[in-house]
Structure 1
Amino acid sequence: MSVDMYRRQVASIREALAKLSSLKARESQKAADAGKKSLAAGSAASKTKQLSTANSKLKEAARYADVQAKHLVEVAKLEKKIAAEQKKLATAELRVESEEARVLKKRNTEQQKMQEAQKRQFREVESSLKTHDSLHRETAARIDKLAALPEEIKVAFFATDPATASDRRLLLDEEVREIHQKIRLSDHRDAVKLESRWALRPAEILQYMNELKPTIVHFSGHGSDQDELVLQDRNGDAKLVSMASIVATFELYDSVRLVFFNTCHSFNQAAACTQHVDAAIGMNQSIGDEAARVFSAQFYSAIGFGCSIPAAFKQAKTALMLEGISEESTPELYLRDGVDDSDLILVKPRAQ
């Protein structure tokens, strides 16, 4: 039963009790009146000297006493009914209290659930707003980064192939030609300027770095298995340059974002350079001429199309696979700690 039904039941019992109490009051009054009349008749019988009058009054007193007794019997019956109804009323009132408590508990539970749902919804909305704000800030930061990119980047292509470094001369001029062609065919051809310097000597590195202020430094030629870069001396013979001196050089130039060692056994040099530059590419073993040319040409093509350094690196490795050159595992890319892809786009997008 619902709480309203229990309440109607209580009201009905109370109404019945009121009627019974009213009936009891009337019966009690009738009994009292009959008792008074019986006493009055008995008193009159005791005072009269006439026998017939006395007998008449005694009969009258007995008759009123009977009437009083009947009314008292009715009062007793009514009192039993009232007691029963009062018991029913107490039980019904307990049921009302219990049902009201149950309904209140249910309502409180539902309100609590609703409040929790509202709080949860608020947290979700708040989280969504925070996520939106975070994405907005990230997008704005990326736009700011792209806007801050230079209108033009320079690639310093340092080529060295000393006569004493190898029995076979490298086709470095072909590598430069293919890189240049790929850049000229890219979307941002005017934003990537290739500057080549040949027969590089150690002392010329700082001169060219100061002169060009490059974004990318590309070494093409030979490397030793002792982590040394092979340049040449004044006589055109091979001169070994230690990894420590190469790494120290890039500590001096903030403009450099990428160092590309297209030389054999250069992976340790590349990894070490990321102390000072965002990214570096090196070879973990010897690399063939054709592989070196195909890899570097596609890498700079992707840079010219606005790809990030990691994306361009992946394209260059894929180019080796497409050409059937099984040296795609030789190049390795190293990134400075904390740098992500959005920081490694070098070419500023053209305004639409």
Structure 2
Amino acid sequence: MTGASPTGKFRIGISACLVGDNVRYNGGHKASSLCHELFDEQFEWVTVCPEVAIGLGIPREPIRLIGDPDHPQVVGTRDASQDFSAPLREYGNFMARHLDDICGYVFMQKSPSCGLERVKVYQSGGRPALKTGRGAFAETFTAQRPDLPVEEEGRLHDPVLRENFISRVYAYIDWQALLAQGLTRGGIIAFHSRYKYLLMANNPQAYRDIGRLLGTLKRDDNPNEVGARYFSRLMQALRRCANRGTHCNVLQHMTGYLRDALDSDDRQELQQLIEQYHNGSVPLVVPLTLFKHHLRNHPDPYLMQQAYLHPHPAKLGLRNAL
């Protein structure tokens, strides 16, 4: 079960080379300053190098993907008779079961073992196929853990993708806490109520579809079965990133709850900031800060519980660049 480690931090899996471990084929590393600077305070890293784990040495002959991009083999770059496909996939299955207390995973991009996408797949003659593949370990691991938030380190340099990933990590943590209490019909509905506006911002269509799913929930339905189906759909939906238009839609919806409490000047000021955000003049944090100010002065229990307003610790500053 996912939970905080003895350090009080939540645990995230990560390719070992990204934390500075000298595990790459050339004996080096790919230490990520972004992961260290932004996330060390919040998370405990659980390091994994599948290539070393299956017995490859340091340094070692590089490996690469060959053949069918949908089902590639993993072989040595100089000796293609060395096939590491099965060991890497078996290790992916093993770690998907073993790492049952992590709340996310950061993979090394473009790696034939760990890349989530856009990994070159070579054909005869040494030319890469037009279609790219996925790293053997990462593909197997994520297939076994489809609800776990995952991302590549390279993509985390995009502020929108970074904020989306960490939002999903904290949603995952929140759900695991609910599971620990035991799922009930009321618990699932209450959880969804907290995540409505975050879901609306990320994926308006899924917001409607998941709402209909829960609308058909009967009192005698098994909450564990419904919960598993609900959370899987939620996590897939949250993978879509919110944009300025969908954020503005949510801000307008929430502002409606305070319309009668605010005077005309306050309403006009808030609308102007929302419009400035929509036009790209100010970041999301600007209208959000003013909205939260008004919400503190005019508390609304439904709004105050919304995950959209606090999807991750404010100290991370992830919305400052949106």
Could you say whether these structures have the same fold, taking a TM-score greater than 0.5 normalized by the shorter chain as the test? no
Bigger helix share: 1
Rg comparison, structure with higher value: 1
How high is the TM-score relative to the length of structure 1? 0.27
